Amino acid sequence: EIEILTGIRIGNEDDIKKASLLLLDKGVKTVIAKAGGKGAYIVERNKFVHIPAPEVKVVDTTAAGDSFNAGFAFSLSQNKDPEDCVKFANMVASLAVTAKGAQEAMPDMKQVQDFINKTL
Q: Give the Cα separation of 38 and 53 in Å (integer).
A: 6
Q: Tell me the C-alpha distance between 36 and 49, whole Å.
A: 15
The candidate with the shortest Cα–Cα distance to 70, out of 87, 50, 93, 48, is 93
Integer angstrom CA distances of residue 72 from 7, 11, 26, 40: 24, 24, 23, 11
Q: Is 114 a catalytic residue?
A: no
Catalytic residue among 14, 25, 60, 66: 66
Residues recognised as catalytic: 66
